[in-house]
Amino acid sequence: MFNIRVATKGVLISLCLSGSARAGGPGGVDHLVPVYPYPSRTAHDYVTKRNALLGVDKFELDADGHFVGGVLAVVIQEPFDPEKLLVFRRGTVTRVSPDRNLWYAMGGDEGASDKNQLNKTRIQSATINLGEERTRRVARAIEKLLRETRYPAVNAEGVEDSTVYEFRLRSERLFGETTGEASGQAKLLVDIVDAIARIEVRPDGSISDNSFRAIDRMCEDLDSSIEKR
């Protein structure tokens, strides 16, 4: 975990941002905060390997290494359960997840990577059709909050063992994160992402209309909150 101290206008703000899978970001904040760009070597190695195993570059970059426009991604970093990657594009969401928590497979805070654990890791991936309008709606909300990413105006307490949500629009160089303890619009966005991550696909490939209705209601709540600002 990182402890960051930022001086602005004579006020010293202390932030606790995620440096390990067991550490969380600021709790109770109603907007996205910047992703800390200078993690420890252990945390940097974890993020690099995590993104490689989840295939983040595969979605965000083309064969020539150029950014793919319009691809929104969310990395869900849980304290103990396997990480998740959600990628929104062209009316669909692709969900990617390993069969184990990668932070602990890499040795956790000790940083002693267990290559046997990593080699045994199996990655599951599935693409769900959300519909063009629903996908655009979710994408607009994510981009809106990403463009308003900022540091908290007041001291924010760090939250241990919290789920961290990293939002990415790499083609626009937009990165922001929040936690499961977020409030306001950030909390509404987290609820939408969690609902999409939990969508159950029936054996025949169909999805309950209730899942989509719940997501639509959440999107309406977030849209209304954004319009009121």
pLDDT of residue 142: 95
DSSP label at residue 140: H
Tens-place pLDDT, residues 4-51: 333 333 333 333 333 344 445 566 789 999 998 888 888 888 999 999
Q: Between 113 and 62, where is the model more confident?
A: 62
* Residue 58: φ, ψ to 5°: -60, -35
The length of the chain, given as a count of residues: 229
Question: Which pairs count as long-range contacts for 107-111, CB under 8 Å and 24+ apart, including other chains?
Answer: 108/20, 108/21, 108/22, 109/20, 109/22, 109/42, 111/41, 111/42, 111/45
Residue 1, pLDDT score? 38
pLDDT at 109: 64
CA nearest to 36, candidates 45, 25, 51, 46: 25
Q: Which residue has the higher pLDDT, 158 or 182?
A: 182
93-146 residue pLDDT tens: 999 999 999 998 888 766 555 556 777 899 999 999 999 999 999 999 999 999
User: pLDDT by residue (tens digit) across 70-94?
Assistant: 899 999 999 899 999 999 999 999 9
Cα–Cα distances in Å, from 47 out to 56, 72, 75, 134, 162? 11, 18, 10, 30, 17
Burial class (CB in 10 A: 0-12, 13-18, 19+), 13: middle
Helices (H), the chain: 41-54, 56-60, 102-105, 115-120, 132-147, 184-197, 209-228
**Of the candidates 144, 77, 44, the residue with the CA atom closest to the CA atom of residue 86:** 77
**Residue 158's pLDDT band (cuts 50, 70, 90):** low
**199-211 pLDDT, tens digit each:** 998 888 788 888 8
Dihedral of the alpha carbons of 130, 60, 40, 111, in degrees to the nearest 10: 70
Q: How is the chain split into domains, by residue range?
A: 2-228
